Amino acid sequence: MKKALILDLDNTLYNWMDAYANSFREQTIFLCKSLDVKEDVILRDFKNIFKKYNSVEVPNAVYQLSIWNTCNLSEQESKYIQEKSLKIFLESWKKNIKLFPKVEEALNWARDLGFLIFAYSDAFAFWIDFRLSTLNIQKYFDNIFAMTDNKISDSDIVINSERHCEITFVDPSEMKPNTLILRRILDEYEIKKEHAYFVGDSKTKDIRTARQIGICDIWAKYGLKYKRENGRLLSRITPWKKGIGGVNELREKTIPTYTIQSFDEIMNIIAHTDKEF
C-alpha cells in the first residue's frame, strides 16, 4: 500500500523567518556603512523591488536598487559593493539556516516505513534548491514541487547556478491553495487519500488545501515562532498586503485536524491513524 508524506518547506522543516531576516540584516548593515545612508532608505528601496516581484527573495535585488543612481560612485565601486553585499547575504544564509529539531529523524522514520515523501513549496525553485542542498536533505524526497523561476530568470545567479535537486516547476496559478498539485501527486503515484498526510505551517494555504481534497492535515504551529525583531524587520520590507503570516495565521478560522509543536510529532499521529500499525 503506497503512502505519502507531503511537506511544506519554509517554516515547516527549517526556520526560514529567522534565517532570512538575519541574512538580510547583515546585508543591509553592510550597504548602509558602505554607502553612508540610513537604514530606512535601503529598506524602502528593497521593498519597491520586492513589490515588483511579489517576493522578498529576488536574487539580484541589490543590483536593482535605485540608490545606485544617486550614490556618486563609479561603476566599478558600485559593482564591488553589490557583489560584496550579495556574498554576505548568501554566506549568512548558509550559516543561519537550520533544520528544526528531529526533522531528519522523522524523515528517516517515514522512509523506513516506505512512505513516498514530497516537498511542495510556493518559493522559487532556485531558493528551494539552495536551501535543501545547503541542509543536505534533498535525498529524502521523491519529488520536489516549487514555483518556476520565470519571474527571476533574468538574474545571473539563477542562470548560472548549478542545480542540486530535481525539481518540478509549478506555475504561480497552481500554487496553494489550488489543489492541483496535491491531486497530481495522488493520481500519478496511485496513492489513496486516506494514506496521505500533508504538513505545513500555514492554515490559509497548507491546511486549507489539504482539507479541500480530504487528506490528513497537520499544522506545524511551531513554524510561527520567530524572533520579534526579525518579524519587525520583515514587516518593513514585505510586499504582501497582509504582511507576514504569524498573526494572520493565528486568526485564520480554518481548524486543523492535528496541530504539532515539533515536527517529530507526526510520527505519533501517523502511528495512531494508519491502520497498518
Q: What is the pLDDT of residue 117?
A: 98
Query: Is 270 exposed, middle or buried (CB count within 10 Å of its CB: 0-12, 13-18, 19+)?
Result: buried
pLDDT digits (tens, 9 = 90+) for 147-157: 999 999 888 88
Q: Which three cell numbers stand for residue 194?
A: 486516506
Q: What is the number of residues in the chain?
A: 277
Provide mean pLDDT across the span 48-73. Answer: 94
Of the candidates 265, 258, 249, which has an alpha carbon nearest to the alpha carbon of residue 103?
265
**Per-residue DSSP letter, 69:** G
Which secondary-structure segment (H or E) carries 6? Answer: strand 3-7
Among left, alpha and beta (phi > 0; psi -120 to 50; other), residue 114 is left
Is residue 198 within 8 A of residue 215, CB to CB? The reply is yes
Give CA–CA dist 16/167, Å, rounded: 19
What pLDDT is recorded for position 273?
A: 86
Give the pLDDT of residue 163: 87
Q: Is the pLDDT of residue 244 over 70?
A: no
Asked if pLDDT for residue 246 goes beyond 60, the answer is: no
Locate 158 and state its grid cell.
539563477
pTM: 0.92
- Please state, in angstroms and rounded to a whole number, the distance separating the CA atoms of residues 134 and 128: 10
pLDDT in tens, 146-186: 999 999 988 888 888 888 899 999 999 999 999 999 999 99
pLDDT for residue 245 is more than 60 = no
Instruction: Look over the chain and give the mean of its residue pLDDT values, rounded to a whole number.
Output: 93
Query: ∠ at Cα 195 (193, 199), nearest 5°?
Result: 85
Selection from 89, 70, 88, 68 nearest residue 79 by Cα = 68
Check whether 243 has a pLDDT greater than 60.
no
For 4, list phi and psi in degrees, rounded to 5.
-130, 140
Task: pLDDT band for 249, please (50, 70, 90 cuts).
Answer: low
Residue 34 Cα distances to 62, 68, 82, 153, angstroms:
13, 12, 10, 28
CA dihedral 101, 107, 109, 110 (to 10 degrees): 140
pLDDT band of residue 8 (cuts 50, 70, 90) is very high
User: What cell was used for 207?
Assistant: 491546511
pLDDT value for 63: 96
Residue 126 CA to residue 275 CA, distance in Å, equals 38
pLDDT digits (tens, 9 = 90+) for 223-238: 999 999 999 999 999 8
pLDDT-derived band at 274 (thresholds 50, 70, 90) equals: confident
Looking at residue 241, its pLDDT comes to: 60
19 in Cβ contact with 234 (< 8 Å): no
The mean pLDDT value for 197-202 works out to: 97
Q: 254 falls in which pLDDT band (50, 70, 90)?
A: confident
CB-based contacts of 271, cutoff 8 Å, min separation 6:
277
Spatial CA neighbour of 252 closest among 194, 200, 193:
200
Query: Where would I find the H helices in the chain?
Result: 16-35, 39-53, 75-96, 103-112, 125-135, 156-160, 180-188, 208-213, 228-237, 245-251, 266-273
Q: What is the pLDDT of residue 251?
A: 65
Give the mean pLDDT of 212-224. Answer: 96
